[in-house]
Amino acid sequence: MEHENDFEQLFKEWQETTRKLMDRFPERKETFQTTSNIEIERLYLPEQLDSTYMEKLGLPGQFPYTRGIQPTMYRARHWTMRQYAGFGSAEETNKRFRYLLDQGQTGLSVAFDLPTQIGYDSDHSMSKGEVGKVGVAIDSLEDMEALLKGIPLDKVSTSMTINAPAAVLLAMYIVVAEKQGVSPDKISGTIQNDILKEYIARGTYIFPPKPSMRLITDIFAYCTENVPRWNTISISGYHIREAGATAAQELAFTIANGKAYVEAALETGLDIDQFAPRLAFFFNAHNVFFEEIAKFRAARRMWAKIMKETYHAKNPKSWQLRFHTQTGGSTLTAQQPDNNIVRVTVQALSAILGGTQSLHTNSRDEALALPTEESARIALRTQQILANESGVADTVDPLAGSYFVETLTDELEKEAHRYLDKIKELGGAVSAVEQGYMQREIHHTAYETQKAIEKGDQIVVGMNAYQLDDEPKPELHRLDPELSANQVRKLGKVRSKRDQQRASAQLESLRRAAQASENLMPHIVECVRTYCTIGEICGVLREEFGEYTGI
């Protein structure tokens, strides 16, 4: 009791000293907030943690997984260093993949160009000017064979950022593996396959929500039977955050979408523990360091409770939220691009301290162009230095028990549940998307953030503060100007040498399956085998399902 009184006296003295010091610096703002408008206290004390603190914290590898999904986390093995790459032709991208693997990358991550992402061939009128620009152009199985040439698909895990035509790209990957002599049950990786966030934030959708959800659940069912090591969806908050969302909105909207996919799968008759262990998530890492760490910890805890208590999953692997992280592309500046190396390091560190399973670090020049080889190497080296030199991987969840981190984790969870309650009122994520609720919330946040930057209330170093009058011009990556013409020529050769009668028959078979209620994946795989193009396959589905034009 005497010690308690001593502390109370010391605390009163600290408060008075703090008040006097703050009076001397009136230019410093009195209140500080996270991106989610959670007020940051001047000091955090044990009494700010509620009585269920230890129960919510738990142990690493145990429900509710606040401290991580593995008991040993990075002491056993580091996270997967999965650098995102893709540009120009399949052959060029294959060279970059091989370079990154030689430099110590431990997993592939494929970026596709815009025509591929929305299911158009490179010779389509809609593809003009976009072939190979923001990722690799993949028109047919021949391109996928070139992309993965010399890469052992039974040893390398591959992530593909593809959504509306995810079934087609997965089918191509399966067939390339078979041609290497690797059976589907031996390949591992992830397709993003998250169409709801496309409607919300990113825009690379093709079909309306209902047939899109059918394609997703068809993939769940097919992979459960045939490709058991494949992560069938990467439920993505990354692009929601890039569109302007706060950390709490990213957390809430991603989990709401995850619930929608679970419910869609359950409605088809799939058992929760059949497909839930292969669900994966994809989050952003932004600059507000402790908020990001708390977001990752809250996400694991929320998902574990939802899967166990709402959907009654029995397998502990169904409760575990496994996630990939990418550093924040929208935080990078074209001004003083070397500053981006520092931003990326801070963001990567938050993902590691938050317990990510894999990580992509953005390159310094991505606000200007596709990364150069040197920039990509520095981004990878950033991860390798953090893993091997910083000591942050030496113990599990090193920030656990921090009064600030635990309080912030609780506050983010509460704020996310406030959004989830509203989405439930609107009828769930699909209905909320159709009504434009999440889109409006993100637009409002993005607008407020931009205003704060323009007024100087939010400092962005090198852009609205600490500018240089004469900035050096960095060397940028340049695409081959003949790329589009070369890709179109290759596509023409594929069509001329394939068995056209067999290709047409497979496309017709796919059409009949789309008109019925059959699983579409086996038909898409057969179309791919006959070198039907992504545009032809998606064209059949466009004719049967229609196209989504927004709200």
Q: Provide the CATH number for the domain around residue 271.
A: 3.20.20.240
d(CA 301, CA 453): 33
In angstroms, the Cα distances linking 403 to 55, 230, 407 are 15, 38, 6
What does pLDDT average to over the chain?
A: 94
- Mean pLDDT, rounded, for 220-231: 96
User: Does residue 60 contact residue 396 with C-beta atoms inside 8 Å?
Assistant: yes
In a domain, 400, yes or no: yes
**If you average pLDDT over residues 94-113, what whole number do you get?**
92
Q: How far apart, in whole angstroms, are the C-alpha atoms of residue 258 and residue 169?
A: 22
CA 356 to chain centre: 11
Give me the percent of the chain exceeding a pLDDT of 90.
86
Evaluate whether residue 546 is within a structural domain.
no
Q: Is the pLDDT of residue 4 over 70?
A: no
What is the Cα Rg of the chain in Å?
A: 24
pTM listed for this prediction? 0.93
| Residue 29, pLDDT above cutoff 70 | no
If one compares 423 and 86, the residue with the highest pLDDT of the two is 423
In a domain, 515, yes or no: no
Given a cut of 70, whether residue 1 has pLDDT beyond it is: no
Q: Which domain holds residue 74?
A: 63-455
pLDDT digits (tens, 9 = 90+) for 332-370: 999 999 999 999 999 999 999 999 999 999 999 999 998
Query: Token pair for residue 103?
Result: 């430099």
The tally of domains found in the chain comes to 1
Q: What is the pLDDT of residue 2?
A: 53
Residue 433 pLDDT: 94
Q: Is residue 41 part of a domain?
A: no
Say if 366 falls within a structural domain.
yes
For residue range 385-420, what is the model confidence (pLDDT) as tens digits?
999 999 999 999 999 999 999 999 999 999 999 999
pLDDT of residue 501: 97
Distance CA 384, CA 78 (A): 10
Sequence-ordered strand ranges (E) for 111-254: 158-160, 189-191, 230-231, 233-236
Does residue 12 belong to any structural domain of this protein?
no
- Decide if 76 is inside a domain: yes
Residue among 282, 387, 292 at smallest CA distance from 343: 292
Query: For residues 232-245, b (16+ Cβ closer than 10 Å) or e, as one string?
Result: bbbbbbbbbbbbbb
Residue 441 is assigned to a structural domain of this protein: yes
